[in-house]
């Protein structure tokens, strides 16, 4: 079993009377890709800032064995963070970006960054102001993947990009960066685009964790059923988490009911992460 890279116990944070994190507990081991998903104002950004040592908090939080409040400098030598791929000075050249990261991050591999960039249309003298947003993404990705960090935090990393660059971003992430010793935490509103790469889900709402499970556990625990009309009453007795009717057909979502039992009610389906999120956040949107 892989060790936990991040461990939180009673993690709390308030802004005046507003509770951002309500004493949450969670553990994230190495070798995982975690989707941290929640509505706006749910506490996900505060959670990321606590992990990165960007905000104070109450409770216990260990990241790679460090306390982010007191040991942020040591911690950031092992962590990479991308908040928005568009945030780079317009006057910055590709070569300047490489020089800067090499100067500030002890685990940056210049040769690796240059190798990645050689596969793109980016030239050393090209300035950010001459790049499309997709090209800025490629620059960020090259810099990031050349850092041998154990934890990578991506906060809406593909915001504003077209679908080609979004798919390219996640494909390169898997092929050229991720391994069993690293962990990636992703927050995104485009859940359907990262679903295929996630190993774990962490749903958060109003400062509380609503769901923390591996994708295998989610597939086992939650089942969507296209219920046959003659079995509608029997299905209702099993207390579905959610139900919806489309073109006269009723679909119900069940939590923790054996698939063998549900198979007698209709056609079984695996629920998407986006649909599961919406079902569990009922009343938030």
| Same domain as 153, residue 178 | yes
Residue 84: which pLDDT band, with cuts at 50, 70 and 90?
low
159 and 227 together in one domain = no
40 and 160 belong to one structural domain: yes
Pick the more confident residue, 128 or 157: 128
DSSP class of 270: P
Question: Is the pLDDT assigned to residue 29 strictly greater than 60?
Answer: yes
Residue 58 to residue 55: CA distance in whole angstroms: 10
How many CB atoms sit inside 10 A of residue 73's CB? Answer: 9
Domain hosting 185: range is: 4-206
* 212, part of any domain: no
* pLDDT for 26: 96
Tell me the pLDDT tens digit for each residue of 206-258.
Answer: 999 999 999 999 999 999 999 999 999 999 999 999 998 887 789 999 999 99
User: pLDDT: is 28 or 157 the higher one?
Assistant: 28
Q: How many CB atoms lie within 10 A of CB 195?
A: 15
CATH number, domain with residue 134: 3.40.50.300
In a domain, 181, yes or no: yes
Model pLDDT, residue 77: 87
What's phi and psi for 125, nearest 5 deg?
-90, 0
Q: Are residues 99 and 226 in the same domain?
A: no
pLDDT reading at 108 higher than 50:
yes
User: What is the SS3 assignment for 10?
Assistant: strand
Q: In the chain, how many domains are there?
A: 2
In this predicted structure, the answer to whether residue 130 has a pLDDT above a threshold of 80 is: yes
* Rounded mean pLDDT, 60-83: 90
Q: Which of 206, 236, 265 is the last residue of a domain?
A: 206
- Comparing 24-38, 59-73, 160-174, 262-276, the range with the smallest average pLDDT is 160-174
pLDDT tens for 245-263 read 887 789 999 999 999 999 9
List, for residues 190-199, the tens digit of each pLDDT value.
888 889 899 9
Q: Are 179 and 231 members of one domain?
A: no
In a domain, residue 211? The reply is no
Assigned token pair, 160: 């504003």
Q: Does one domain contain both 123 and 28?
A: yes
Q: Do 143 and 241 belong to one domain?
A: no
Q: Which of the four pLDDT bands, split at 50, 70 and 90, describes residue 14? A: very high
Q: Are residues 188 and 152 in the same domain?
A: yes
Alpha-carbon distance of 48 to 45, in angstroms, equals 5
Tokens read off for 2: 């892989």
Look at residue 155 and tell me whether its pLDDT is greater than 90. Answer: no
- C-alpha count within 13 angstroms, C-beta hemisphere, residue 53: 19
Tokens for 131? 């790049």
Closest CA to 71 of 58, 97, 52: 52
CB 277 within 8 A of CB 218: no
Residue 151 sits in the same domain as residue 253: no
């Amino acid at each position: 079993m892989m060790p936990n890279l991040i461990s939180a116990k009673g993690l709390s944070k308030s802004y005046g009377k507003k509770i951002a994190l309500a004493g949450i507990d969670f553990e994230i081991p190495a070798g995982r890709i975690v989707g941290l998903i929640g509505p706006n104002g749910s506490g996900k950004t505060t959670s990321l800032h606590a992990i990165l040592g960007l905000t104070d908090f109450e409770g216990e939080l260990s990241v790679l064995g460090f306390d982010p409040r007191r040991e942020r400098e040591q911690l950031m030598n092992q962590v990479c963070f991308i908040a928005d791929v568009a945030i780079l000075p317009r006057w910055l050249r590709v070569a300047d970006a490489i020089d800067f990261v090499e100067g500030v991050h002890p685990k940056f591999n210049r040769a690796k960054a240059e190798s990645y960039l050689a596969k793109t249309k980016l030239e050393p003298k090209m300035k950010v102001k001459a790049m499309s947003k997709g090209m800025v993404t490629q620059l960020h990705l090259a810099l990031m993947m050349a850092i041998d960090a154990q934890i990578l935090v991506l906060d809406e990393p593909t915001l504003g990009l077209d679908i080609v660059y979004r798919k390219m971003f996640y494909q390169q992430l898997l092929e050229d960066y991720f391994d069993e010793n690293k962990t990636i935490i992703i927050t995104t509103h485009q859940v359907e685009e990262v679903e295929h790469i996630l190993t774990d889900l962490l749903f958060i709402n109003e400062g509380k964790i609503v769901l923390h499970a591996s994708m295998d556990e989610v597939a086992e625990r939650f089942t969507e059923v296209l219920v046959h009309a003659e079995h509608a009453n029997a299905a209702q007795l099993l207390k579905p988490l959610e139900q919806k009717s489309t073109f006269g057909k009723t679909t119900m979502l069940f939590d923790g009911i054996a698939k063998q039992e549900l198979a007698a009610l209709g056609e079984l389906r695996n629920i998407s992460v986006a649909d599961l999120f919406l079902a569990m956040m009922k009343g938030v949107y």
